[in-house]
């Protein structure tokens, strides 16, 4: 058996090992980087892009933990407790974010390998190449989007310089320009339907572009891009009549729902494919996650105003929280959103990076931001999400729960309403902190709800020592983020 045959056999075995989620973790780098001639070979390389970011050190667990504790409604315990001080990172948490930086660049490198090697593939059609390069550029752009929002300007590693160790930080604007080019190219070259459940389609690219434009405050473009997704008719809110119905959206058996635009896919078996985040959410023997639980973060139904003021008739409240006492008072609650009562070694839940509710709420806010005032259509999109939260049909007006445009006619009143609704809707998903930063209200909200004064250095993570110790183009004194 020659090297090429061995490589293909390994890929085949790995693909056959996939369980309920079709897109599973494959080798973090391709052992022989020259094998990109056939669709099977290129797809193995594409699958390798997902492996680093799916791991526990990033979107499999620790990233969500970090961002959720930053939000106004959760508090960290144990080694995550220093995050409650809003004064940047201690050594333990710096080590964690160093790992996040590393795995994002691992995924970027794996995308760069596909982008470098696939165009020379001898058995690829032009259509194959378009969709494969589109997927690689989508994932690379997405990784840079995570980097720029958390670290600011970063080194740009591409398929043309990926073997160059010494690369300077570029400005945030340059990073955004680069990732926009990737995502826009992906949007026009990705297929209408993904190659696998868990891979991106052109609609996923449009969803991420919407988010990018929101962060750039280019709200007219965000509005228009979100409307393209909405007008496609390809997505719909999952219907809910009782709180437990949200399991059809977030539960371990939910896969490919009509609300799903781009999710990271996980499975209970094999254990290397599980979603570890539930392990950090739950209390041991609570019944929501049998493998155990670190209860890394918690909230308080009376002491935290965000939680206290949440209408208890909102089914999302019932679905998201459960009471659990462990020495912090009788009103302590834990996050229930990602639960897997049948898990043995790990959870089977997927991570909802972009879902239809996100796009509806982005659209509603972007209309008001771009046009100076809300519209009836923006209010309708907000009400669709709100109705579903109360067990109503999202597409049918209901005066008992609907917000009225006349009550929120000013731009700021409407935006505040959308932001509050998005906080309830995305609770536990690692999205709230980025919203607060994007809107420039993080310091104000944390002071109001948690009574903490935030330092400016808390807004960005430090460039890792593992980067500037080996990258001589970055000066640890002049190129480091403020406060570190």
Q: What are the phi and psi torsion angles at 199 (to 5°)? A: -95, 160
Are residues 179 and 212 located together in one domain of the fold? no
- Tell me, yes or no, whether 3 lies in a domain: no
Tokens of 381: 């999109």
Per-residue pLDDT of the chain (484 residues; tens, 9 = 90+): 443 333 333 343 333 333 334 454 444 444 445 589 999 999 999 999 999 999 999 999 999 999 999 999 999 999 999 999 999 999 999 999 999 999 999 999 999 999 999 999 999 999 999 999 999 999 999 999 999 999 999 999 999 999 999 999 999 999 999 999 999 999 999 999 999 999 999 999 999 999 999 999 999 999 999 999 999 999 999 999 999 999 999 999 999 999 999 999 999 988 789 999 999 999 999 999 999 999 999 999 999 999 999 999 999 999 999 999 999 999 999 999 999 999 998 999 999 999 999 999 999 999 999 999 999 999 999 999 999 999 999 999 999 999 999 999 999 999 999 999 999 999 999 999 999 999 999 999 999 999 999 999 999 999 999 999 999 999 999 999 999 9
Are residues 472 and 392 located together in one domain of the fold? no
CATH code assigned at 182: 1.25.40.890
Q: Give this prediction's pTM.
A: 0.93
> What pLDDT does 31 receive?
47
> What pLDDT does 34 receive?
59
Q: Domain range holding 279?
A: 271-335
Residues 6+ apart with CB under 8 A from 75: 69, 81, 84, 297, 298, 299, 300, 450
Are residues 61 and 160 located together in one domain of the fold? yes
| ∠ Cα 312 318 319 (to 5°) | 145
- Tell me, yes or no, whether 350 lies in a domain: no
In the chain, how many domains are there? 3
347, β-bridge pairs: 275
Are residues 392 and 287 located together in one domain of the fold? no
Are residues 54 and 186 located together in one domain of the fold? yes
Are residues 378 and 411 located together in one domain of the fold? yes
Choosing from 306, 335, 364, the residue where a domain stops is 335
CA nearest to 357, candidates 455, 451, 250, 272: 250
- Tell me, yes or no, whether 384 lies in a domain: yes
- Tell me, yes or no, whether 347 lies in a domain: no
């Amino acid at each position: 058996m020659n090297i090429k045959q061995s490589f293909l056999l390994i890929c085949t075995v790995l693909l056959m090992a996939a369980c309920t989620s079709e897109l599973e973790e494959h080798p973090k780098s391709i052992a022989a980087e020259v094998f990109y001639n056939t669709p099977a070979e290129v797809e193995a390389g594409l699958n390798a892009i997902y492996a680093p970011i799916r791991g526990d050190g990033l979107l499999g667990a620790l990233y969500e933990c970090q961002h959720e504790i930053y939000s106004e409604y959760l508090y960290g315990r144990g080694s995550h407790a220093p995050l409650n001080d809003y004064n940047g990172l201690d050594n333990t948490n710096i080590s964690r974010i160093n790992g996040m930086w590393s795995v994002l660049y691992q995924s970027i490198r794996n995308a760069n390998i596909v982008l470098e090697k696939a165009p020379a593939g001898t058995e690829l059609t032009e259509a194959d190449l378009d969709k494969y390069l589109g997927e690689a550029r989508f994932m690379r752009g997405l990784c840079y989007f995570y980097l720029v929002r958390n670290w600011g300007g970063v080194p740009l590693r591409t398929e043309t310089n990926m073997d160059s160790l010494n690369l300077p930080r570029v400005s945030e604007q340059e990073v955004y320009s680069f990732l926009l080019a990737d995502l826009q190219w992906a949007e026009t070259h990705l297929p209408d339907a993904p190659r696998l459940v868990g891979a991106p389609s052109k609609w996923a690219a449009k969803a991420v572009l919407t988010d990018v434009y929101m962060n750039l405050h280019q709200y007219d473009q965000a509005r228009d891009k979100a409307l393209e997704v909405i007008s496609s008719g390809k997505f719909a809110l999952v219907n809910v009549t009782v709180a437990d119905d949200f399991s059809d959206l977030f539960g371990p058996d939910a896969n490919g729902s009509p609300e799903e635009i781009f999710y990271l896919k996980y499975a209970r078996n094999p254990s290397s494919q599980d979603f570890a985040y539930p392990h950090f959410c739950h209390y041991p023997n609570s019944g929501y996650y049998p493998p155990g639980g670190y209860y890394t973060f918690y909230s308080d139904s009376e002491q935290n105003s965000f939680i206290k003021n949440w209408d208890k008739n909102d089914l999302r409240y019932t679905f998201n929280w459960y009471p659990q006492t462990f020495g912090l008072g009788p009103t302590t609650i834990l996050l229930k959103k990602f639960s897997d009562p049948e898990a043995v070694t790990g959870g089977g839940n997927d991570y909802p990076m972009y879902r239809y509710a996100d796009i509806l709420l982005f659209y509603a806010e972007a209309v008001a931001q771009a046009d100076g005032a809300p519209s009836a259509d923006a209010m309708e999109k907000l009400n669709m999400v709100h109705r579903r939260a109360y067990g109503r049909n999202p597409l049918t007006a209901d005066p008992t729960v609907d917000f009225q445009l006349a009550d929120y006619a000013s731009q700021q009143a409407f935006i505040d309403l959308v932001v509050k609704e998005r906080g309830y809707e995305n609770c536990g998903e690692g999205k709230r902190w980025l919203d607060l930063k994007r809107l420039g209200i993080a310091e104000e909200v944390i002071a109001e709800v948690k009574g903490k004064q935030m330092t400016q250095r808390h807004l960005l993570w430090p460039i890792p020592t593992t980067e500037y110790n080996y990258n001589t183009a970055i000066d640890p004194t002049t190129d480091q983020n403020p406060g570190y």
